[in-house]
Amino acid sequence: MAKLELKNLHVALEDGTPIVKGVDLTIASGEVHAIMGPNGSGKSTLAYAIAGHPAYEITEGQIVLDGVDITEAGADERAQAGLFLAFQYPHAIPGVTVTNFLRQAINAVRKARNGGVDNPMPVPEFRKAFLAKMDDLKVSRELASRYLNDGFSGGEKKRVEILQMAMLEPKIAVLDETDSGLDIDALKVVAEGVQQLVGPNMGALVITHYQRILNYIKPDFVHVFVDGRIVEQGGSELAEKLEVSGYEEWEVKEEVHA
Amino acid sequence: MAQTESEIVQEIGADYGTKYGFSNPDEAKDYFFKSGRGLSHELVDAISAHKDEPEWMRKFRHKSLDYFNARPMPTWGGMPSLTEIDFENIFYYIKPTENQVNSWEDLPADIKDTWDKLGIPEAEKKYLAGVGAQYESEVVYHKLQESLEKQGVLFLDTDTALREHEDVFKQYFGTIIPQNDNKFAALNSAVWSGGSFIYVPKGVHIELPLQAYFRINAENMGQFERTLIIVDEDAYVHYVEGCTAPIYSSDSLHSAVVEIVVKKGGRCRYTTIQNWSNNVYNLVTKRAVAEQNATMEWVDGNLGSKLTMKYPAIWLMGDGAHGEVLSIAFAGKGQHQDAGGKCVHAAPNTTSVITSKSISKNGGRAGYRGLLEVAKGARGAKSKVVCDALILDDESRSDTYPYIRIDENDVNIGHEATVSKIGEEQLFYLMSRGLNEAEASAMVVSGFVEPITKELPLEYAVEMNRLIQLQMEGSVG
């Protein structure tokens, strides 16, 4: 049973501008949490800060994974500990094939989890798992030998993000606007892929602007995120309400407070 | 038990010092012959006498020395460190053993040990058709697969070739790179020793590579090998050279001359993985002539040395000849890699591609310097030059000097250049998958040079990637 806790989390840009202004959130395996908010509310900053992006500074509060404080840990250490971020805009790594990249990433994680001693996944085992998961996610096998995200369509990038997640088997996955740029068929495949992984071994935090993806990944908890704070919490019915009424209610409130 | 890939990668942690930088300090006294320091006509006589050469070669050497002395140090390119070479402090000729052998077991123990550490005998067993191993000035080991000997392939050290095949030797020697071509070609012509001589008869395809390995062991050594390759009509050879040296506090000099003739329909690929220690000046002249429908390919990897100036050239002399230069230059702290390539189109329908990838880090300076020339009458010539630079930090430098001269209208010429940096976002992306910073950087760099490493035989591609990882380890905190 894994558990990620954000405790009074404050995040600022390098120039000191505060973006995330005190978030308390606990995500356990088997749970799907949705963070919904308007553009510019700081959702992606929250995702980057959880994953350990060096340009975002945690100015207050803590990130705790399974009882271990990882607030100061590097992005690599967090990944090794079991965090995964599916990027909104995955970066291209020309010259490095998807297969080669994934093998090295998996072996880096396995090494870290093996007390720093190499424990590479045997090639046949890797190959078998890789092919099976590509088929599950309807990722064309031809992509395996292409350079990571280099010239991929938006849909291919997102599927390969979820493929990476499936291969790396994280404890907690953060999905940053995974629905953006996907047509409805791709969205279904990707969402079902995520839904399959959520269970006793994984919990998910789905960050989104629209309710659309939540038709396929059923959230247990919905958090409305405005101006760096969670302003309301509820069950999946809250997402449906937002789809109709939007974020105006809270945004106006914020203005009044300001 | 076989080593796993990651165990091998772990060994990369051993720095250049332990992997390549070792030396045999005590053996100097055991050298069969060692010249004094400095350059003179007496030295030239001593070398020539030692090799028992014909008179024409002795004269050729003396004349070359005159050319060397008369020529000023090149000032183009702005290489201030060139003027720091102390020609009087260099040992120009060291003969480590009395005789060349064709069994590793017959070498003196410490020299054999050097080759074992570098893995050459092992590589020979696994994937090479022939090996030459030069230690200081002389090739101490040489062997070619018997089946190739029977087909008439010659793979000898250059001194032996002069003794045993003087006619064919004299026909080509110094014809592609004249003795007064440039100051360092003149120096090589005066004091050359060792190197490879290859003749591939008509129609013979040598499937496995032939490899030569050049090792400098002594401090202040000057190594001046001379290589001559003749690929006859419709024949094929892939020649690979590797080079390393110990780390010393004062400098050594490596100045080779490589001449290649590829006859009608033949193909020659010449791969270099240069990993000299950072106290070696590497000033090399390499030039090939490709006749009708012949193909010449230079794959040139420069990872080591203090200063490298090397621009492998191809003269496309026959209709339909094709030339390719693939160049990787990696400059770390205190290194300056001035690499590149030249293609001269002197016949119709000739084609060429120059692909250069340079990487600089920790204050290193890597550059591309290239010449593309199309002579009048070379109608239908096509050429493409692509040079990409990757700069890993703000202290480092990259330069691109693409010279282009076109004297014919009916041509198709393309040139692209890019300069990029490893982005924080790219690194973060890879690290968020569990790779540490050095692994992530190495991955980006390996990907950057992949268009070239994919052209290498697998074993060398693996070696190249290891060397890059080794280079990268020092680059991040």
CB contact under 8 A, B425 and A91: yes
Question: How close does chain B come to A96, measured CA to CA in Å?
Answer: 5
Q: Are strands B196-200 and B154-157 parallel, antiparallel or unpaired?
A: antiparallel
The ipTM (two decimal places) reads: 0.95
> Nearest CA of chain B to the CA of A165: how many Å?
9
Confidence class of residue B206 from pLDDT cuts 50, 70 and 90?
A: very high
Please, are residues B23 and B217 in contact by the beta-carbon 8 Å criterion?
yes
pLDDT, tens digit, for every residue of B105-117? Answer: 999 888 888 888 8
Domains of chain A: 3-257 (3.40.50.300)
Averaged pLDDT, B372-400: 94
- Sole residue written with tokens 């009074």: A8
Reply yes or no on whether the pLDDT at A254 is more than 70.
Answer: no
Phi/psi at B410 (nearest 5 deg)?
Answer: -85, 70
> Residue B35 pLDDT > 80, yes or no?
yes
**What residues does A65 pair with on adjacent strands?**
A4, A68
B431 and A76 within 8 Å at the Cβ level: the answer is: yes
Which of A54, A106, A168 is nearest residue B424 as measured by Cβ atoms?
A54
The DSSP secondary-structure symbol of B460 reads H
pLDDT category at A158 given cuts 50, 70, 90 is very high
Measured CA angle at B353 (ends B351, B358), to 5 deg? 165
pTM to 2 decimal places? 0.83
Q: How far apart are CA B13 and CA A244, in angstroms?
A: 58
Instruction: Determine the pLDDT at residue B301.
Output: 92
CA distance A240 to chain B (A): 32
Query: Minimal CA–CA distance to B464: which of B475, B453, B451?
Result: B453
Report yes or no: A118 at the B interface, CB cutoff 8 Å.
Answer: yes
Instruction: Check pLDDT > 50 for residue B9.
Output: no
SS3 readout for chain A: CCEEEEEEEEEECCCCCEEEEEEEEEEECCCEEEEECCCCCCHHHHHHHHHCCCCCEEEEEEEEECCEECCCCCHHHHHHHCEEEECCCCCCCCCCEHHHHHHHHHHHHHHHHCCCCCCCCCHHHHHHHHHHHHHHCCCCHHHHHCECCCCCCHHHHHHHHHHHHHHHCCCEEEEECCCCCCCHHHHHHHHHHHHHHCECCEEEEEEECCCHHHHCCCCCEEEEEECCEEEEEECHHHHHHHHHHCCHHHHHHHHHHC
Task: State residue B62's pLDDT score.
Answer: 98
pLDDT tens profile A57-71: 999 999 999 999 999
Mean of the per-residue pLDDT values of chain A: 92
Q: Is the pLDDT of residue A245 over 90?
A: no
- Stretch B388-395: mean pLDDT: 91
Would you tell me how many other CB atoms lie within 10 Å of the CB of residue A233?
12
- Residue A37 β-bridge partners: none
Q: Tell me: the pLDDT tens digits for B66-93?
A: 999 999 999 888 788 888 999 999 999 9
pLDDT digits (tens, 9 = 90+) for A217-233: 999 999 999 999 999 99
Closest approach of B300 to chain A, Cα-based (Å): 19
What span, in angstroms and rounded, lies between the C-alpha atoms of A56 and B95?
A: 62
Q: B-contacting residues of A 76-105, CB under 8 Å? A: 76, 78-80, 84-85, 87, 90-91, 93-96, 101, 104-105
The gap between the terminal CA atoms of chain A, to the nearest Å, is: 40
CB neighbours of B413 closer than 8 A, spacing ≥ 6? B372, B374, B381, B382, B383, B384, B385, B404, B406
Please answer whether residues A3 and A26 qualify as being in contact, where contact means their C-beta atoms are separated by less than 8 angstroms: yes
Chain B nearest-CA residue for A80: B434
Kindly give, in sequence order, each residue whose CB lies less than 8 Å from that of residue B314, ignoring residues fewer than 6 positions away. Answer: B287, B288, B289, B290, B296, B298, B323, B324, B325, B341, B342, B343, B344, B352
Give residue B20's pLDDT band: very low, low, confident or very high (50, 70, 90). Answer: confident
Residue B28 DSSP label: G
Q: How distant, in Å, are the alpha carbons of A60, B259, B298, B335 from that of B185?
A: 66, 11, 19, 22
Name the helix (H) or strand (E) containing B213. strand B210-215
Q: How much is the pLDDT for B473?
A: 64
- Contact list in B for residue A108 (CB cut-off 8 A) is 433-436, 439
Which position has the token pair 């809250």?
Answer: A238
Handedness of CA A107, A108, A111, A112 (dihedral sign): negative
Q: What percent of chain B is modeled with pLDDT above 90?
A: 69
Give the best-scoring range by mean pLDDT among A226-230, B123-127, B244-248. Answer: A226-230
Token pair for B20:
């390549």
Give the C-alpha separation, B33 to B23, whole Å: 18
Helix ranges (DSSP H) in B328-457: 424-431, 437-453
3-state class (DSSP) for residue B442: helix
Contact A133, A167 (CB under 8 A): yes
**Is the pLDDT score of B15 beyond 70?**
no
What is the tens place of the pLDDT at every residue in B342-368? 999 999 999 999 999 999 998 999 999
Residues from chain B that touch A95, judged by Cβ atoms under 8 A, are 446-451
A107-111, B62-66, B80-84, B302-306, range with the lowest pLDDT: B80-84
* Least trusted range by pLDDT, from A115-119, A159-163, B29-33, B50-54: B29-33
Which pLDDT score, from 0 to 100, does residue B31 have? Answer: 85
Q: CB–CB of B446 and A109 under 8 A?
A: no
Q: How far is A132 from A121, CA to CA, in rounded Å?
A: 16
Side chain identity at residue B355, one-letter code:
T
A-to-B residue pairs, Cβ atoms closer than 8 angstroms:
89
**CB under 8 Å to B308, separation ≥6 — which residues?**
B274, B282, B283, B284, B302, B329, B336, B337, B338, B339
Q: What is the pLDDT of residue A255?
A: 52
Interface check B444 vs A, CB under 8 A: yes
Distance, CA of B101 to CA of B108 (rounded, Å): 10
In 3-state terms chain B splits into helix, strand, coil percentages (rounded to 5) of 30, 35, 35
B341: three-class secondary structure by DSSP: strand
Which pLDDT belongs to residue A163?
96
- Among partner residues A55, A90, A120, which is closest to B4 by beta-carbon distance? A120
Nearest CA distance, B287 vs chain A (angstrom): 30
